[in-house]
Amino acid sequence: MATLRDLSTEELFTSGHRLCAGCGAGIIARMTMKALRGPTIVVNATGCLEVASTIYPYTAWKVSWVHIAFENAAAVASGIEAAYKAMMKRNAWGKKVDIIAFAGDGGTFDIGIQALSGALERGHDFLYICYDNEAYMNTGIQRSGATPHGAATTTSPAGTKIPGKPEFKKDLIGICAAHGIEYAATASPAYWNDYITKVRKALEVDGPAVIHVFSPCPVGMRFDSSKSIEVARLAVQTRYWPVYEVENGRYKLNIKVPKPKPVSEFLKVQGRFKHLFQPKFKHVIDEIQRYVDENWERITKLCGEA
Amino acid sequence: MSRIMGLTGDGAVAYAVKQCKVDVVAAYPITPQTLIVEEFSEYVHNGEVHTEFICVESEHSAMSACVGASLTGARVFTATASQGLALMHEILYIASSLRCPIVMGVVNRALSAPINIHCDHSDMMGSRDCGWIQIFVENAQEAYDWVIQAFRIAEDPDVLLPVTVNLDGFILSHSLEGVEVLDDADVEKFVSTRKPVFTIDPDKPITVGPICFTDFFFETKRQHVEAMNNSPKTISKVNDEFAELTGRRYGFIDTYEMDDAEAAIICLGSTAGSAMAVAKKLRDEGKRVGVIKPWVYRPFPAEQIIDACKDLKALAVLDRACSIGAPYGPLCNDVTAALYKENVRLNVFNVIYGLGGRDITPFDIEAIFNETLEVAKTGLIKKPIKFVGVRE
Amino acid sequence: MSEESKPGWRSIPIAGIILEPGSAMKYKTGDWRAFRPVIDEEKCTYCLLCWIYCPDGAIIREEKTVRVNYDYCKGCGICANECPAKAITMVEEKK
Ligand SMILES: Cc1ncc(C[n+]2csc(CCOP(=O)(O)OP(=O)(O)O)c2C)c(N)n1
Ligand code: SF4
Ligand code: SF4
Ligand code: SF4
Ligand SMILES: [Mg+2]
């Protein structure tokens, strides 16, 4: 992908959807559609993107789009892929169809991890995109296995004793890559070129591919709607969100961050971390910084950078 | 042309599915359905079918994959039992609401706890409101015949609903029978290929499964009800064509000696066969007894059952499941509601039997007939719900 | 649409499917806006960042300029925040 001018002006994810103002999921959906290479079907797990983009009788999708339930996007995609394969064998279908499954972090890290693992293990040819806004936003900001340490959600509130979520985030790409799939990557919509390039690359893979993309959510992460891309950029520049890819088991760092900003720069712009800036919870910020440093070291080592 | 094959109930299902040229099977093993997936896997691995068999990691994913596959326009089959059906529950409603003509073999088995692998109908009964057409069969022949008919019924544009074919776990699934099977070509001609009404063809994009709020949800359900209400026409048509092809006549219910019966048993599945054998013996003794066996459980064949009962004085409804806390077991709830709806006064009592594979013996059945005859004579029901075969 | 004027179950497509791709375009989200982005064409360098980052596809890309489609713009302010040329200002909507 060279320049923005080269991207199509056709909007396969249209205006008129009802995602909140400044929603990262909308940006991701739009960008994804700019990377398509041919006939495509989108499968969407229950969550903000699904609910807000298809309020009957309106749909923001100009590709065929299917929503079945919360935990099964990967299984539904498996069925679609297998069906076209079988119909090709009996000459009832003639062309390649790309299948993209979108699911939130809840639909991926938690309730959907089994269906995802099964589909990856079976090797279906589809692209799974987890847009990670780090909580169950659609049901009112509850914690998920992707919610970071210290973040306040409605089920991990900023209490006087327990300051937000005690646990840390799962390593989704590690889990996916461990299935031996050909392509897995992280991304941030702030780096549009990297993201769109990855979507295209992932579509070109024969077999399953996974993209884990940071999805800024002004409502659930609590920042001004104008800051979505800024927050998505800070996530990368603080090394909170390493942007890398795993191709046939080989890790590669896509965005180098030689002079990282302290993670507090990322935390302080978001209301979900506000409580950590009280003196008594200062240690939690240190814990997060330590986690970020260790995670970065681990990833960059895997990428052969360290 | 046809020939006789030695097949188990599960084997008969697998063989029918093979002959129906199914595009996608997505299934997960569970006793007593396992023989279906195992035998079908043989067909796949020996290159006898073009089917994509997705060995999913759960029944939830099995049904999810089936829905995805069905929406592309493919012909789709799955099979499960008990816990597997319960795990699918969420997606069963979605499959039918999205009008996916999936055919599913349900090899009836008790639901935990305690865990038990043997036959009862609590699995299907627990999901009986899922909006699927539901068939119960008495033997392997019926299993074979109904699976083939099920594809025709499900995929008919006037119906477009998924169908379950229920067969009793172990009693049918694992017993070998001589099954009269059709030639591949005859089956192929009978079921033809699926002609979908709508698909997710990427070249003609549609949106499937949007969120409907208070303003449209009710309308979509009303349509679903209508599809079920319209299905009898298609079911009869398919039964007629099948009878023409095979000489085997199916319908909504099967009856035995109901013409002048004063007392009868109504029950689902393999028990009906035993009940008919006992009824024959009692008939020989001059007792006017009969048997009603619904093949079709949903849509509920109220009209046909009432018609069969018109000269009856007493009816025992046998349920191989409980609906704990409800007035009766599931089948009896339906039968009594149907009678009430049509303003038919009939002495009915409910027998709960066979849970977790507990045998029902010919003696048990004879006792039930005799009690029904007693009720027919006296008009007095001693116990509205009897538990037969349980130790006190 | 009032409840009565909406189509009944006999007239809507089966299975709750939506047959018209992109029908959401009929749903205008412009009235969600509290602030409107105003583009200063003089300053604009046509870098298209506002276009790619807009979650609502409300920046229209023309031959040499960009403009806002106020029918859909929700006024999130991302475009103004991201514009490297500072060509976009958010102006309060007058009620
Ligand atoms: C089986 C099931 N459990 C719970 C829900 C309720 N539910 C709907 S969306 C959702 C959270 C979605 O979170 P995520 O996947 O992170 O997507 P987001 O809304 O954050 O974009 C939950 C819990 C459901 N629809 N289905
Ligand atoms: S809650 Fe967050 S993710 Fe959901 S629509 Fe609003 S901004 Fe987007
Ligand atoms: S304010 Fe937000 S919605 Fe409006 S044009 Fe700018 S980025 Fe798009
Ligand atoms: S971001 Fe600013 S400079 Fe770039 S195209 Fe938009 S208005 Fe013009
Ligand atoms: Mg989320």
Decide if B68 and A43 are in contact by the 8 Å CB cutoff: yes
Encode pLDDT of C13-54 as tens digits. 999 999 999 999 999 999 999 999 999 999 999 999 999 999
When CB atoms are compared, the residue of B220, B226, B227 closest to C16 is B220
CB B224 within 8 A of CB B162: no
Span B211-255, pLDDT tens digits: 999 999 999 999 999 999 999 999 999 999 999 999 999 999 999
DSSP bridge partners of B228:
none
- What are the boundaries of each domain within chain B? 2-246, 253-388
pLDDT in tens, B36-55: 999 999 999 999 999 999 99
Does B2-246 match B253-388 in CATH topology?
Answer: yes
Q: Does A62 touch chain C (CB under 8 A)?
A: yes
- Residues of C whose CB is below 8 A from B196: none
CB contact set of A206 (below 8 Å; sequence gap of 6+): A125, A182
Distance CA(B181)–CA(B2), nearest Å, equals 5
User: Using one digit for the tens of pLDDT, what is the confidence trace for B123-138?
Assistant: 999 999 999 999 999 9
Look up the domain containing A258 and give its range.
4-302
Neighbouring residues of B242: CB distance < 8 A, sequence distance ≥ 6: B145, B148, B149, B190, B248, B250
- Domain count across chain A: 1
Chains near B (3 or more Cβ pairs under 8 Å):
A, C
Q: What is the mean pLDDT of chain B?
A: 98
* Domain of residue A63, CATH code: 3.40.50.970
Chain C residues with beta carbon closer than 8 angstroms to that of A9: 61
- Kindly provide the b/e burial profile for residues B366-390, where b requires at least 16 CB atoms within 10 angstroms of the residue's own CB: bebbebbbebbeeeebeeebbebee
The confidence score (pLDDT) of residue A2 equals 75
- Point out the residues of chain A with pLDDT beneath 50: none
Query: What is the rounded CA–CA span in Å between residue B215 and residue B218?
Result: 7
Task: Considering only CA atoms, give the Rg of chain C.
Answer: 18
pLDDT band for B261, please (50, 70, 90 cuts).
Answer: very high
The yes-or-no verdict on residue B1 having pLDDT over 90 is no
Give chain C positions within 8 Å (CB) of B212.
16
* B77 SS3 class: strand
Q: Which burial class, exposed, middle or buried, applies to A198 when counting CB atoms under 10 A from its CB (0-12, 13-18, 19+)?
A: buried
Q: What is the pLDDT of residue B210?
A: 98
**Which partners does chain C have (≥3 C-beta pairs < 8 Å)?**
A, B
Q: Which residue has the tokens 């103002």?
A: A21
pLDDT (0 to 100) of residue A226 = 98
- Which residues on chain B are in Cβ contact (under 8 Å) with A50? 211
| CATH entry 1.10.3720.10 includes domain B253-388 | no
pTM here is 0.98
Secondary structure string (H, E, C) spanning chain A:
CCCHHHCCCCCCECCCCCCCCCCHHHHHHHHHHCCCCCCEEEEECCCHHHHHHCECCCCCECCEEECCCCCCHHHHHHHHHHHHHHHHHCCCCCCCCEEEEEEEHHHHHHCCHHHHHHHHHHCCCCEEEEEECCCECCCCCECCCCCCCCCCCCCCCECCCCECCCCCCCCHHHHHHCCCCCEEEEECCCCHHHHHHHHHHHHHCCCCEEEEEECCCHHHHHCCHHHHHHHHHHHHHCCCCCCEEEECCEEEECCCCCCCCCHHHHHHCCHHHHHHHCHHHHHHHHHHHHHHHHHHHHHHHHCCCC
- Torsions phi, psi for A280 (to 5 deg): -70, -15
Q: What is the dihedral of CA C11, C13, C15, C19, to 10 degrees?
A: -150
Q: Which of B75, B78, B74 is nearest to B61 (CA)?
A: B78
| Nearest CA among B114, B99, B182 for reference residue B148 | B182
For the cut 60, the answer to whether the pLDDT of residue C1 exceeds it is no
pLDDT tens digits along A212-254: 999 999 999 999 999 999 999 999 999 999 999 999 999 999 9
- State the ligand closest to the CA atom of A133: 5
Q: C62 falls in which pLDDT band (50, 70, 90)?
A: very high
C16, C26, C57 member nearest A56 (Cβ): C16
CA of A73 to the centre of ligand 5 (A): 14
DSSP run (H or E) holding B181: strand B177-182
**Mutation site for C-interface testing, chosen from A3, A15, A215 by largest number of C Cβ within 10 Å:** A15
CATH of B2-246, one of 3.40.50.720, 3.40.50.970, 3.40.1550.10, 3.40.640.10: 3.40.50.970
pLDDT of residue C2: 65
Structure-block tokens of residue C25: 């375009």
Residue type at B373 in one-letter notation: L
> Separation of B88 CA from ligand 1 center, angstroms?
18
Instruction: Name the token pair of A216.
Output: 């800024």
Q: Is A74 in the pocket of ligand 1 (CB under 6 A)?
A: no
Q: Is the pLDDT of residue B6 over 70?
A: yes
- Measured by CA distance, the residue closest to atom 3 of ligand 2 is A217
Mutate to test the interface with A, among B20, B24, B25, B212 (most CBs of A within 10 A): B24
Quick check: CB of A284 below 6 Å from ligand 2? no
State the pLDDT confidence band at C4, using cuts at 50, 70 and 90: confident
Q: What is the ipTM metric for this complex?
A: 0.98
Paired residues of A44 in beta bridges:
A102
Phi and psi at residue A42, in whole multiples of 5°?
-105, 130
Give the residue from A68, A38, A37, A67 showing the smallest Cα distance to A54: A67
CA dist., res. A75 & res. A69, Å (int): 10
Strand ranges in C2-58 using DSSP code E only, listed in sequence order: 35-39
